[in-house]
Structure 1
Amino acid sequence: MVKVKICGITSYEDALAVTQAGADMLGLNFYKKSPRFVTAEAAADMAARLRDELGA
């Protein structure tokens, strides 16, 4: 079975959209020099909000 991962997620809204579109995994970038960098705190917040929204 093919799995789909969307990388470079920077916001909860994007994470929710790609999850609802069927992505199996999300990729977050923790490299500070990247334009798609997210903090660990922002990533944890996104994950918590997605769990609440999706019931995962």
Structure 2
Amino acid sequence: MMQPKISVLSVCYNAVNDIEKTILSVINQTYPNIEYLIIDGGPTDGTMDIVNKYKNVA
């Protein structure tokens, strides 16, 4: 039986100091069917460099 999909949404803006901790928290969950979305309002501080580092992590 397939488990329901859980969607996690992080909304941020210039969150370079916090986003990696948030991403790691989500990807280290044991529930197998998680969809993770990050919405950032046009960062100018390197946030997207960190987001892209984890872009293909399953």
Normalised to the residue count of structure 2, the TM-score between the two structures is 0.47
Bigger Rg, structure 1 or 2 = 2
Task: Choose between structure 1 and 2: higher strand proportion.
Answer: 2
Task: Choose between structure 1 and 2: higher helix proportion.
Answer: 1
